[in-house]
Every structure is written in structure tokens, then in C-alpha cells.
């Protein structure tokens, strides 16, 4: 019991709590097209969670964050939802966290124009503007981040998404474009993380609190002696 109290007291002093892991993190960085892969850098990170603040009238929605860590702009990003994303599904509370991005439109079914080499199955897409003209919100450029909710008439669950994706990346050096898919353990692209799609890696705060807890447990054990 003393060990538990020592850990809790440390948490109270620091004023932090161990953050919840992502339900799913998709790293889209495995370039498979023949033209733009030589100049495409980085990837896109998609974090998907069950919404923590679902209104009582809602039966389930998901919260999505997408960060463009590439050197181009995204024209299309396709994902896979088990059983198919309900039609209609709405993009709600769209926010440009970094930059100025126009909210995407949704299309249902497998994306067109993916070309040969795609090994993953997709069944819906986010479609972004490819123009920066006219002022106001614009295309999804490099270094920008967005967040939004997906809401449907039937319950949505973050656990129904799979580690599969397709992305069309444009505006690359030399006028090139590239096509990328989700990183898998078998991916060889150097921009893919060592363990793609694994949401179970503890965050630094979690590790810090665990370390403090172990120290507290050791002190309590010595006192008993």
C-alpha cells in the first residue's frame, strides 16, 4: 500500500498523469510509385482515438489527428474501416492546428488512380484541395496539422480502423508526385519507423512516472527492513 501511495504522491506533485495510448497510429511513409520516390521525404502520421467527449445524444464517434511531415502537399488520403465507413459520415469540428487547411470531402469505396504496387485494401478517402488560389483555407501543405471528428448515424470505433493507407503526395521537387502506403513491419522505406503502427510504446511521461514509482517502492522496502 505504501508503494501505491508513494507513486500517487509523485503524480500529485508533478500535476501530470500517464497519457492514454493512441488506439491506432498509422505512419504513411512507404513510397511505392516509380516517379516521385527519389525526392519524397518523410511521411504522414494519422492518430485515431475514440472521442473522449461524445455528447449524450451521440452513440459513438472518433477523433482523428493528421500531421504532414513530408515535403509536399496531400491531395488524397485513403484509409480502411472494417465493414465500410457508414454513408453518410460527417467531418465535424475541423481544426487547422498548424497552418491553414481546407476541410476535406469524403468519398466512399476504393480510391481510384492508386497505380500498381499498392498492397493494401482501402475503402474510403479524404480528398483535399490542390489549389492555393483565392485566399482563405488552402491545401494540406508540408508541416501542417489538422484535427477533426468523424460522426455517423451508427456507432464508430477507433478499433475498427486498420493499419492500412494510401496517400497521393504532390508539389514535390522537380514537379514530381508520389504515392505512399502505410508502413508495415515488412516495409523497407527509410522514412518508415522501426515499429510502425504500434501504439503501445510508452510516452516519456509514462516512463518517468514508472521510474519514480520504482524508486518509491525501493525506499518503502528499505524502511520495512
pLDDT tens, position by position, 110-125: 999 999 999 999 999 9
pLDDT score, position 194: 76
CA nearest neighbour of 46 among 161, 209, 136, 191:
161
pLDDT score, position 12: 43
Residue 57 has pLDDT above 70, yes or no: no
For the segment 149-154, the average pLDDT, to the nearest whole number, is: 90
Half-sphere exposure of 5 (CA within 13 A, CB side): 4
pLDDT score, position 58: 63
Query: Is 40 within 8 Å of 31 (Cβ atoms)?
Result: yes
pLDDT score, position 53: 65
CA nearest neighbour of 148 among 51, 59, 81, 75:
51
pLDDT in tens, 160-206: 999 999 999 999 999 999 999 999 999 999 999 976 555 444 444 44
CA distance 111 to 105: 13
Q: What are the residue boundaries of the structural domains of the chain, listed by start?
A: 20-200
Query: Is 34 within 8 Å of 209 (Cβ atoms)?
Result: no
Q: Name the 3-class secondary structure at 161.
A: strand
20-200 fold: Immunoglobulin-like (2.60.40)
Is the model more confident about 84 or about 56? 84
Q: Give, to the nearest 10 degrees, the angle between helix 204-224 and helix 2-14.
A: 140
Q: What percent of the chain has pLDDT over 90?
A: 63
pLDDT score, position 133: 79
Compute, in degrees rounded to 10, the torsion defined by CA atoms 159, 163, 130, 150.
0
Q: At a CB cut-off of 8 Å and minimum separation 6, what does 97 contact?
A: 65, 145, 146, 147
E strand or H helix at 204, and its extent?
Answer: helix 204-224
CA distance 54 to 58: 6
Q: Which three cell numbers stand for residue 171?
A: 508539389
Count of residues for the chain? 225
pLDDT score, position 225: 52
Residue 13 has pLDDT above 70, yes or no: no
pLDDT in tens, 67-97: 999 999 999 999 999 999 999 999 999 999 9
Amino acid at each position: 500500500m505504501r508503494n501505491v501511495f508513494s507513486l500517487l504522491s509523485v503524480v500529485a506533485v508533478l500535476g501530470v498523469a500517464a497519457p492514454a495510448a493512441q488506439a491506432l497510429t498509422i505512419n504513411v511513409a512507404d513510397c511505392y510509385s516509380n516517379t516521385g520516390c527519389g525526392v519524397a521525404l518523410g511521411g504522414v502520421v494519422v492518430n485515431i482515438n475514440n472521442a473522449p467527449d461524445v455528447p449524450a445524444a451521440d452513440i459513438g464517434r472518433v477523433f482523428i489527428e493528421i500531421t504532414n511531415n513530408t515535403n509536399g502537399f496531400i491531395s488524397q488520403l485513403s484509409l480502411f474501416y472494417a465493414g465500410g465507413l457508414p454513408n453518410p459520415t460527417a467531418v465535424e469540428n475541423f481544426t487547422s492546428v498548424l497552418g491553414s487547411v481546407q476541410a476535406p470531402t469524403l468519398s466512399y469505396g476504393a480510391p481510384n488512380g492508386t497505380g500498381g504496387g499498392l498492397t493494401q485494401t482501402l475503402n474510403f478517402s479524404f480528398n483535399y484541395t490542390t489549389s492555393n488560389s483565392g485566399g482563405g483555407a488552402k491545401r494540406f501543405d508540408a508541416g501542417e496539422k489538422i484535427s477533426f471528428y468523424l460522426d455517423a448515424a451508427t456507432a464508430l470505433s477507433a478499433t475498427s480502423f486498420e493499419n492500412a493507407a494510401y496517400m497521393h503526395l504532390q508539389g514535390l521537387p522537380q514537379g514530381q508526385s508520389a504515392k505512399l502506403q502505410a508502413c508495415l513491419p515488412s516495409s523497407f522505406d527509410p522514412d518508415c519507423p522501426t515499429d510502425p503502427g504500434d501504439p503501445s510504446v510508452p510516452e516519456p511521461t509514462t516512463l518517468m512516472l514508472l521510474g519514480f514509482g520504482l524508486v518509491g517502492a525501493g525506499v518503502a522496502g528499505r524502511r520495512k527492513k
